[in-house]
Amino acid sequence: MSKPVTSRTIKLAAAVGAFALAWFAGTGLPEGQQPVGAVFALTVVLWVSEALPLTITALLSTALLVLIAGIDEKQAFAGYGDPIVPLFIGSFLLAKAMEVTGLSERIAWWILNQRWASGSPSRLLLALGIIGCLISLVVSNTATTAMMLPIGLGLLKAMGVEQRSTGFAIAVMLMLTWGSSVAVGFPVGTPPNLIGIAMIERSTGTRIGFVEWMQFSMPLTAIMTLASWGVLRAMYRRGDPPERLSPDHARVRLSELGKMSPAERNTLLAFVAAIVLWMTPDLAVFALGKGAVLAAWLQGRLTAAVTALLVGAMLFLLPTKGAESGTTLTWKQGASIDWGTIMLFGGRDCSWAGGCSARGSPRLWGKRRRRRPASTRCGES
């Protein structure tokens, strides 16, 4: 075990010890103050010891206030403007880990190694769309397309397609972009999903859970993926390549990647944990009923934003042998997530929409719209 890992383990143990000590010392305090004091002690030790990056500690402590202390999500995340912002941050950290560890590329080649994916140009085109769609359920559309582009070019070269202006080459490039763009099956798949869910809850009080969203959007995602494939096959069928993809091509590429690295395994663990935790509150409601105490507790505390931050923190906690920092993700890598997109969607859509709603602008515009004569709305005199 390396020295950084040993030192970090001691620091983390000290933080957990401070949490436990503050918890027991706070016995007898007014209701709600005991868990807040324990989280505060944990946060202070993590900050002083720098067992985690300071920014990650701040994000994690806010999530723990919701999970452990039971503080309302909107109140706890008020400093971020809206709970959707930390949800973006946690999701983008997971996507960055999949990118830098190479897990997303390994998943792509594993699917292409399946017999059904390389039997014909038509199957290959569908497989590329499915791969892009599956990865883009968690990773951003842009990052997915950027990751899949060299894979698509390599496959075209292996099939003897030298001219990228041929019909099949165009179809492959379009399928890579379309496949990642239609992936709306998970709420975290694209920022507009989260923004729409947040606005619906804020305007109507109706909360759309992870599973409830998937029930509607996953079939829609599948339909749009198949429709994209069908359109491209109809448009570019005449440009099929002279050779089929050899089944050994993907197998060779997988062998070159070697066994999964510890960082990849940790990222896969974090990915699975995120999916399970995102689905748990809705599954609890389905299994126990909406009025069950456990279901209500999970829905109020294990929110999507809390889960995203917990999983994001996992990436800075899970040890990785051979890595300089000793962890799956470094803060230098984490800091390179698309902060511009986070601020753009968080500021433009959440703050702007909230400001308009607070002033009653949408209602006023709607009333004026209804008052206008039909002939005027249609542009008739």
Q: Report yes or no on 310 lying in a domain.
A: yes
Distance (Å, whole) CA 201 – CA 157? 49
Q: What is the DSSP string of 9-49?
A: HHHHHHHHHHHHHHHHHTTTSPTTHHHHHHHHHHHHHHHHH
Q: Which of 49, 81, 113 is the last residue of a domain?
A: 81
Any residues with CB less than 8 A from the CB of 15 and at least 6 apart, and which?
A: 42, 45, 46, 49, 51
pLDDT at position 275: 82
pLDDT at position 167: 82
> Do 255 and 195 fall into the same domain?
yes
Instruction: Take residue 144 and report the two structure tokens written for it.
Output: 């997915």
What SS3 state is found at 126?
Answer: helix
> Do 105 and 250 fall into the same domain?
yes
pLDDT at position 378: 45
- Residue-number span of the structural domain to which 54 is assigned: 1-81
Exposed, middle or buried: residue 113 (CB in 10 Å: 0-12, 13-18, 19+)?
Answer: middle
Let me know: does 114 contact 252? Beta carbons within 8 Å.
no
Exposed, middle or buried: residue 32 (CB in 10 Å: 0-12, 13-18, 19+)?
Answer: exposed
Residue 132 carries which side chain, given as an amino acid letter?
Answer: G
Rg of the chain over CA atoms, in angstroms? 24
> Do 178 and 315 fall into the same domain?
yes
> Do 134 and 92 fall into the same domain?
yes
Distance (Å, whole) CA 200 – CA 187? 13
Q: Report yes or no on 340 lying in a domain.
A: yes
pLDDT at position 68: 92
Let me know: does 305 contact 77? Beta carbons within 8 Å.
yes
pLDDT at position 358: 54
pLDDT at position 231: 92
Q: Identify the bridge partners of residue 319 per DSSP, sorted by sequence position.
A: 327
> Do 77 and 189 fall into the same domain?
no
Distance (Å, whole) CA 97 – CA 271? 10
Instruction: Take residue 229 and report the two structure tokens written for it.
Output: 């494939």
Instruction: Take residue 339 and report the two structure tokens written for it.
Output: 């902060």
Residue position matching structure tokens 């008052």: 371
User: Considering the entire predicted model, what is its pTM?
Assistant: 0.72
Q: Report yes or no on 377 lying in a domain.
A: no
Determine the Cα angle at 42 with ends 41 and 43, to 5°.
90
> Do 66 and 105 fall into the same domain?
no
> Do 188 and 278 fall into the same domain?
yes
> Do 90 and 77 fall into the same domain?
no
Determine the Cα angle at 132 with ends 223 and 307, to 5°.
95
Q: Report yes or no on 368 lying in a domain.
A: no
Q: Report yes or no on 369 lying in a domain.
A: no
Q: Report yes or no on 380 lying in a domain.
A: no
Report the number of distinct structural domains present in the chain: 2
Q: Which of 33, 58, 81 is the last residue of a domain?
A: 81
> Do 76 and 93 fall into the same domain?
no
Pick the closest to residue 317 from 241, 252, 266, 257 (CA basis). Answer: 266
> Do 35 and 104 fall into the same domain?
no
Distance (Å, whole) CA 339 – CA 140? 13
> Do 223 and 113 fall into the same domain?
yes
Let me know: does 64 contact 58? Beta carbons within 8 Å.
no
Pick the closest to residue 56 from 236, 255, 318 (CA basis). Answer: 318
> Do 95 and 51 fall into the same domain?
no
Distance (Å, whole) CA 336 – CA 327? 16
Q: What is the pLDDT along the chain (381 residues), one digit of tens a residue?
A: 445 557 888 999 999 999 999 999 888 788 778 899 999 999 999 999 998 999 999 999 999 999 999 899 888 888 887 788 888 888 888 888 888 888 877 877 787 777 777 667 888 888 889 988 888 887 767 667 766 777 777 777 767 676 566 788 888 889 988 988 888 888 877 777 777 887 888 778 788 888 888 888 899 999 999 999 999 988 877 666 655 666 677 788 888 888 888 899 999 999 889 888 888 888 888 788 778 889 889 888 998 889 989 999 999 998 887 666 678 888 888 888 878 777 776 654 455 555 555 555 555 555 554 555 555 444 444
Q: Which of 81, 113, 139 is the last residue of a domain?
A: 81
Q: Report yes or no on 321 lying in a domain.
A: yes
Let me know: does 61 contact 38? Beta carbons within 8 Å.
no
Let me know: does 168 contact 161? Beta carbons within 8 Å.
yes
Distance (Å, whole) CA 303 – CA 287? 18
What SS3 state is found at 327?
Answer: strand
Let me know: does 136 contact 183? Beta carbons within 8 Å.
yes
pLDDT at position 269: 93
Q: Report yes or no on 67 lying in a domain.
A: yes
